[in-house]
Amino acid sequence: MSETYVECLVARNGSLLIRFCKMLFMMLTVVFVVIGIVFIPGLLVAIGTGVAAYFSYLNADIEYEYLYLDKEISVDKVMAKSRRKKVGSYSLDKMEIFAPLNSHRLDSYRNRQLKTLDYSSGIAAQPEKRYMMIWNGDTKIILEPNAEMIKAVQNVAPRKVFTD
């Protein structure tokens, strides 16, 4: 039995709002710690803004890691290069189609109301690097795989994978 293993890491383009909130909460934490030295309730507010700064820090730097192993694509979310969370695991047996986001082969799926999961960088590049996978008939998954991963998926399901 031959097993193919392919790994791909994609950095998510952080939004301006998240980066602004991260800096705002960090500055507010410092201000309220200084105020808390004199006025005790300032420390309670500093704790709250510190927690908000921590979570905005985690969500400001997000990467997605795709792992292809034995007819299955698993997606992990790496937050701030320190925490990892498994987001999903998708069997290629339930995949309907895998094609570039702007492919004409996806036209019949465009008007369907599907749950959308975006695990890409969020950047529309020319030529389009993002791919859409329709999985289990009710989920639209947007990925940004490398050429090696596309080739591995195409070897398993050649009639479902398109690269046009």
Per-residue model confidence as pLDDT tens digits over 68-114: 998 899 999 999 888 999 999 999 999 999 999 989 999 988 888 99
What single-letter DSSP state applies at residue 40?
A: T
Task: Say how many C-beta atoms besides its own lie within 10 A of residue 160's C-beta.
Answer: 16
Instruction: Say whether 81 sits in a helix, a strand or coil.
Output: coil
Closest CA to 76 of 97, 92, 90: 90
Task: Say how many C-beta atoms besides its own lie within 10 A of residue 69's C-beta.
Answer: 13
Instruction: Say whether 120 sits in a helix, a strand or coil.
Output: coil
pLDDT band at 122 (very low <50, low <70, confident <90, very high): confident
Q: Give me the residue label for tokens 């704790």.
A: 47
State the DSSP H helix or E strand holding residue 117, giving kind and residue range, or none if neither: strand 115-118
pLDDT band at 16 (very low <50, low <70, confident <90, very high): confident
Amino acid identity at 80: A
